[in-house]
């Protein structure tokens, strides 16, 4: 299966600005990409990164735990068009089944991805919070993505429109894209990978105030 | 298996106050309880509601789709002590395995609950966002709950401390407790049960602004 991980190296993760400076967001974005690539590789598949610009990993202390061989033989496709356009170009060219896995799924595990990859519907979708589509598998030549808005519901409509079968994959780990400061809590609670290490190096830890969990730095 | 659904009928869901008036929050809380009870029953188990006060379902137009037989033969245990104390009293008395399922898991399906109930570890936990514990199965006599703070991590520590085995159950549906206004989006996107009907009767619908999903009323 052709496994594609879309990534945007230019000014990534702007919605994390309340918690992280620009270079810190960049370090975290690359660390999350590394976590996702590693999880994909552990399922036995070779990921291809669909990127808006050639990949140049940052050389900063926060990411010096990301070994060069993470990127050494990495398949990449550079396409600076909007995400849905670029993804659909790859789906059109794909000869067989394809999977799309977002680069900010820091909680993704090989088990969660294998459950998705093993779904035998024409289209299998792992929803994100807020009606998003965090990961999907496409085995039907007529399916195209549209990531704008309530993509989860729109993708349902498209699957129906082309007469394909659909499966929704119920995974908290795949539903958790790291977009906003509150999401950083999930990285610290549920992972110990590259992204978690970046957050620890940046001085973040969990706190409990009035019975609720938050972050302190 | 003894399946317990803790419910607090007095001033429920106060964190939804930015979106819903007090009587609306009450209607939604009962509708979510009805959704959870129905999902549990569809797994073949008989739920017991652990409640802080005797159950008196509201008689308002928003909940007139909740049939009386939802509550007619319902097993209840009234205990007005703090949640963890009341739950631990039930765990102490339980002769066999017990499951705890929160009453605000409006997205819970029989499939998601069956995956949890089928876990064969001594303790199986479905985490909630923010380090919470949304549902769990206990098959070890030495385990006790503490829902305060990062209960997911605290429960891990307790499982280790008593030498029991642990499984984490990866479910978006069980991870989504409906606490805050943003969570109402998930109810409308992913369900069509009692809670979804209440929100529709209250005039809520999904909107897309700048590519992001929200609610309008």
Burial class of residue B26, CB neighbours in 10 A (0-12, 13-18, 19+): buried
Between CA A2 and CA B156 the distance in angstroms is 37
Q: Could you tell me how many CB contacts below 8 A there are between chain A and chain B?
A: 79
- What is the distance in angstroms between the Cα of A112 and the nearest Cα belonging to chain B? 8
Band of residue A212 on the pLDDT scale cut at 50, 70, 90? confident
Band of residue A95 on the pLDDT scale cut at 50, 70, 90? confident
Q: Write out the H or E segment, with its range, that includes residue B133.
A: strand B132-138
B30, B58 Cβ separation under 8 angstroms: yes
Average pLDDT, chain B: 95
B34, B64 Cβ separation under 8 angstroms: no
Mean pLDDT over A90-117 rounds to 96
Cross-sheet strand order for the sheet of B2-7: B75-78, B47-51, B2-7, B98-101, B132-138, B123-128, B166-168
- What is the distance in angstroms between the Cα of A66 and the nearest Cα belonging to chain B? 27
Best B111, B114, B150 member to test A by mutation, with max A CBs in 10 Å, is B150
Residues of A in contact with B153 (CB under 8 A): 189, 206
Give CA separation, B171 vs A11, A18, B5, B94, B126, in Å.
Answer: 31, 29, 18, 26, 7
Helix or strand or coil: residue A166? strand
What confidence score (pLDDT) does residue B95 get?
86
Pairing of strands A98-101, A2-7: parallel
What confidence score (pLDDT) does residue B150 get?
87
Best CA proximity match to B4, nearest among B130, B69, B70, B89: B89
Mean pLDDT over B144-167 rounds to 95
Give CA separation, A151 vs A5, A126, A132, A154, in Å.
Answer: 17, 11, 5, 5
Band of residue A198 on the pLDDT scale cut at 50, 70, 90? very high
Residues of A in contact with B127 (CB under 8 A): 172, 189-190
Which residue of A lies nearest to B146 if distances are taken between CA atoms?
A211
Mean pLDDT over B152-163 rounds to 96
By Cβ distance, the residue of A127, A172, A211 closest to B170 is A172
- What is the distance in angstroms between the Cα of A85 and the nearest Cα belonging to chain B? 15
Whether residue B189 and residue A150 make contact (CB cut-off 8 A), yes or no, is: yes
Domains of chain A plus CATH, in order, are: 2-216 (3.90.550.10)
DSSP string, A101-136: E-TT-TT--HHHHHHHHH--SSEEEEEPGGG-EEEE
By Cβ distance, the residue of B130, B150, B172 closest to A170 is B172
Band of residue B211 on the pLDDT scale cut at 50, 70, 90? confident
Tokens of A153: 């519901």
Band of residue B51 on the pLDDT scale cut at 50, 70, 90? very high
Burial class of residue A27, CB neighbours in 10 A (0-12, 13-18, 19+): buried
Residues of B in contact with A174 (CB under 8 A): 172
A171, A205 Cβ separation under 8 angstroms: no
What confidence score (pLDDT) does residue A147 get?
93
Residues of A in contact with B129 (CB under 8 A): 176, 186
Band of residue A148 on the pLDDT scale cut at 50, 70, 90? confident
Which residue of B lies nearest to A112 if distances are taken between CA atoms?
B170
Between CA B59 and CA B217 the distance in angstroms is 23
Record the pTM.
0.96
What confidence score (pLDDT) does residue B110 get?
98
By Cβ distance, the residue of B127, B132, B213 closest to A150 is B213
Backbone dihedral angles phi then psi of residue A199, each to the nearest 5 degrees: -65, -40
User: Is pLDDT at B203 greater than 80 in this prediction?
Assistant: yes
Best B110, B115, B128, B131 member to test A by mutation, with max A CBs in 10 Å, is B131
Whether residue B189 and residue A148 make contact (CB cut-off 8 A), yes or no, is: no
Best CA proximity match to B179, nearest among B16, B12, B5: B16
User: Is pLDDT at B111 greater than 80 in this prediction?
Assistant: yes
């Amino acid at each position: 299966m052709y496994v594609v991980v879309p990534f945007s190296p230019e000014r990534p993760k702007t919605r994390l600005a309340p918690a992280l400076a620009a270079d810190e967001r960049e370090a975290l974005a690359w660390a999350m990409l590394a976590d996702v690539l590693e999880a994909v590789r552990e399922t036995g598949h070779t990921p291809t990164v669909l990127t808006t610009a050639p990949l140049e990993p940052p050389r900063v202390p926060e990411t010096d735990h990301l070994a060069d061989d993470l990127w050494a033989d990495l398949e990449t496709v550079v396409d600076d068009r909007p995400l849905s356009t670029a993804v659909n170009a790859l789906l059109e060219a794909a000869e067989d089944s394809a999977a799309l896995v977002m680069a900010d799924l820091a909680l993704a595990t090989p088990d969660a991805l294998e459950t998705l990859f093993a779904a035998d519907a024409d289209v299998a979708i792992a929803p994100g919070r807020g009606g998003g589509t965090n990961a999907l598998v496409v085995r039907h030549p007529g399916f195209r993505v549209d990531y704008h808005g309530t993509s989860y519901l729109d993708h349902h409509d498209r699957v129906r429109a082309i007469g394909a079968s659909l499966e929704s994959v119920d995974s908290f780990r795949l539903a958790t894209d790291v977009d906003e400061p509150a999401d950083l809590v999930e990285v610290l609670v549920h992972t110990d990978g590259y992204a978690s290490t970046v957050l620890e190096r940046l001085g973040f830890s969990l706190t409990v105030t009035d019975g609720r969990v938050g972050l302190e730095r």
